[in-house]
Amino acid sequence: MKESDHQNQDAPLSYRDARRIVGLVSLLVIVWFILRSLQPVVLLFAIVFLLAMVLNPIVVWLQKHHVPRLASVILLMLALVVVTGTIILFAIPPLARQSQELVQSVPKVWQGIRVRIESLTQNYPGVREALPRSDEIAGRAGAAAGTLGNILLRSTIGLVGGLVSAVFAVLLLIFVLANPRPLVAGYLALAPDRYREQAHRTLARLMRQMIAWARGVAINGVITGLSIGVLLWLIGVQPALMFGVFAFFGEFLPNIGAFLVAIPILLVALSLGATKFWLALAIIVLVYQIELNVLVPGVLGKEMRLHPVNILFFTLATGTMFGLLGVVLAVPAAALFQIAIDEFYLRPRKPDYAAIDREAAAVIEGKS
């Protein structure tokens, strides 16, 4: 390293540097307040842009086969409508029937759980002090049910607004897919000339990762949902079809999806007896272990190199900002953050990753 470089590193913080830091912090604060005040709008546009990234390769494929872009978008939308209509026609009736059966069986499920708890406390008196009384559990469950009822009531009241938002989202998606070039050009134009290449690579890498993520989540969801549904049906834990659907949609909620799926399955299985409970628990552990160790590496490959801690942080962050639906954006947000850091900060510095890895190992092992 040159002597001038050492002098630059040891130089005190200048007024210009301090002004840049203050400006960056101020910009982050302003962006934060804008996001907080426009949560529904930001969430809607983020989901639409994510869908556009995932669906754009299909439109490009149709264009390569001499179909105009607007016609390609219309054909794609019609195909999605047909698929959605088919699912509603064939899957919703049995799901609705099983939902009704599950609601009707709640008292029976609770009675079965209560019997298991009382049997456990009789056989192991020490557990009695650690567990809350059954009437306390019932009271908490009733309060939770009341809260859920209020949420459902508010959701029902806001159904019209939700339908309007859905129609607006579909129209926005059509406009974005039909003519995305001005949006991409506007994004690149916002970047300073010296960062134009990094901005281009960031968007290209993000699109590749989102396509890989969506494809992997869909494939893993189908395999996981079918596996859990079929295995629960074989051991007699119903409604197996609904639990399989829960497992499919749980794939879109990183880290917490498996936990949310396991709770109702284990509660229903516990009401059927200890044997069914342990079998259901074994099925959940087996399926998700296979997914974690086989499906995720095999389907996603090396495209999504995201540390679980990063995903968990963005899961909590997006969930806090946008609710449960915002959790779907956790992986895209983590990927965007990692790509931006890599393109705008790490690559220009050209760090010695091998040396950094050795230093990290030394710290972990207590050698330094």
Question: 201: Cβ–Cβ under 8 A, 6 or more apart, which residues?
Answer: 343
229 near 240, Cβ under 8 Å? yes
The pLDDT score that the predictor gives to residue 8 is: 47
**116 lies in some domain:** no
Q: Kindly report the average pLDDT of the chain as a whole number.
A: 76
Residues 162-191: b if buried by 16+ CB within 10 A, e if exposed = eeeeeeeeeebbbebbeebeeeeeeeeeeb
241 near 90, Cβ under 8 Å? no
Per-residue DSSP letter, 345: I
Q: Which of 239, 207, 210 is nearest to 96 (CA)?
A: 239
**91 lies in some domain:** no
Tell me the average pLDDT across 241-256: 83
The pLDDT score that the predictor gives to residue 255 is: 72
φ, ψ for residue 30, nearest 5 deg? -65, -45
**216 lies in some domain:** yes
Give one DSSP letter per residue of 283-311, joined into a string.
HHHHHHHHIIIIIIIIIITTS----HHHH
pTM of the model: 0.67
Q: 231 or 353: which carries more pLDDT confidence?
A: 231
Does pLDDT of 197 surpass 60? yes
Does pLDDT of 9 surpass 60? no
Tell me the average pLDDT across 147-162: 47
**101 lies in some domain:** no
| CA distance linking residue 196 with residue 187, whole number of Å | 10
282 near 293, Cβ under 8 Å? no
Tens-digit pLDDT profile for residues 82-97? 887 887 777 667 666 6
Number of domains in the chain: 1
- CA dihedral (43, 221, 208, 289) in degrees, to 10, reads 110
**233 lies in some domain:** yes
Question: 44: Cβ–Cβ under 8 A, 6 or more apart, which residues?
Answer: 165, 168, 169, 172
Does pLDDT of 211 surpass 70? yes
**78 lies in some domain:** no
The pLDDT score that the predictor gives to residue 300 is: 59
**225 lies in some domain:** yes
Q: 212 or 36: which carries more pLDDT confidence?
A: 212
Q: Domain of 200?
A: 195-351
**231 lies in some domain:** yes
Tell me the average pLDDT across 203-217: 87
In this prediction, residue 75 has a pLDDT band, given cuts at 50, 70 and 90, of very high
Tens-digit pLDDT profile for residues 118-149? 666 666 555 555 555 545 555 555 555 445 44
